[in-house]
Chain A
Amino acid sequence: EAQVTQNPRYLITVTGKKLTVTCSQNMNHEYMSWYRQDPGLGLRQIYYSMNVEVTDKGDVPEGYKVSRKEKRNFPLILESPSPNQTSLYFCASSLIGVARGGYTFGSGTRLTVV
């Protein structure tokens, strides 16, 4: 089954404790992206990657890191989480040139930083 897999689904952590949210896709998509979703603010892009070793900032990259060492994986790293990073996070992937297919989203990670 074609899918984007995120882990974990739920995570509660404390301020300053490094964490990684994993994302993996099995569709051989070049393009992968991380979004956060907050009430009243909609989906905002954090980082994206056009292929292996090619990443760039989205609209709200502060406090986040990413890497793309393999085509299928695109982990999101919070080096020192803060409460304002409490949010619902989605990983998404697509073929380059999204015109026809749009994004496929993972099932989401609800992160709470206390």
Chain B
Amino acid sequence: QKEVEQNSGPLSVPEGAIASLNCTYSDRGSQSFFWYRQYSGKSPELIMFIYSNGDKEDGRFTAQLNKASQYVSLLIRDSQPSDSATYLCAVAGLIIQGAQKLVFGQGTRLTINP
């Protein structure tokens, strides 16, 4: 089982709709959870992080975390064509010898159709 799993997609959503991206993780000791957006050929850009159960909202983005189910999701409301990108889920575990490693999922490719 992979440490962090995402559906690779592609996920196609009409403009203006809600895009829902999902991620599961295997390490119950995981503490922090991140969503990165990556445009083709570009570097990953941090868009959300969450570390407590529940929802965290930032503009059109909402991250949801359920530690009991080892599940984290990202909702994008009022989807725009500029949201078309690959979304990477990343999970941080315990700090070992001062280092806290981020483990990335393979990413979900999202396409917003005008």
Closest to B95 in A: A97
Report yes or no: A99 in contact with B46, Cβ–Cβ below 8 A.
no
Among A96, A97, A107, which residue has the most Cβ atoms of chain B within 10 A?
A97
Report yes or no: B46 in contact with A103, Cβ–Cβ below 8 A.
yes
The A-contacting residues of B in range 81-114, CB under 8 angstroms, are: 88, 90, 92, 95, 97-102, 104-107
Residues of B within 8 A of A107 (CB): 42-43
Residues of B within 8 A of A30 (CB): 98
| Interface residues of B, count at CB 8 A | 27
A96 and B102 alpha carbons, distance in the complex (Å): 12
Residues of B within 8 A of A99 (CB): 31-32, 51, 92, 100
Report yes or no: A98 in contact with B100, Cβ–Cβ below 8 A.
yes
A89 and B95 alpha carbons, distance in the complex (Å): 25
A51 and B99 alpha carbons, distance in the complex (Å): 10
CB distance from B92 to the nearest CB of A (A): 5
CB distance from A91 to the nearest CB of B (A): 9
A56 and B97 alpha carbons, distance in the complex (Å): 11
Residues of B within 8 A of A83 (CB): none
Report yes or no: A103 in contact with B106, Cβ–Cβ below 8 A.
no
CB distance from A60 to the nearest CB of B (A): 13
Q: How large is the interface on A (under 10, 10 to 19, 20 to 34, 35 or more residues)?
A: 20 to 34
Residues of A within 8 A of B45 (CB): 105
A17 and B84 alpha carbons, distance in the complex (Å): 38
Report yes or no: A43 in contact with B104, Cβ–Cβ below 8 A.
yes
Residues of B within 8 A of A43 (CB): 44, 88, 104
A100 and B100 alpha carbons, distance in the complex (Å): 11
Measuring CB to CB, which residues of chain B are less than 8 angstroms from any residue of chain A? Answer: 8, 31-32, 34, 36, 41-46, 49, 51, 88, 90, 92, 95, 97-102, 104-107
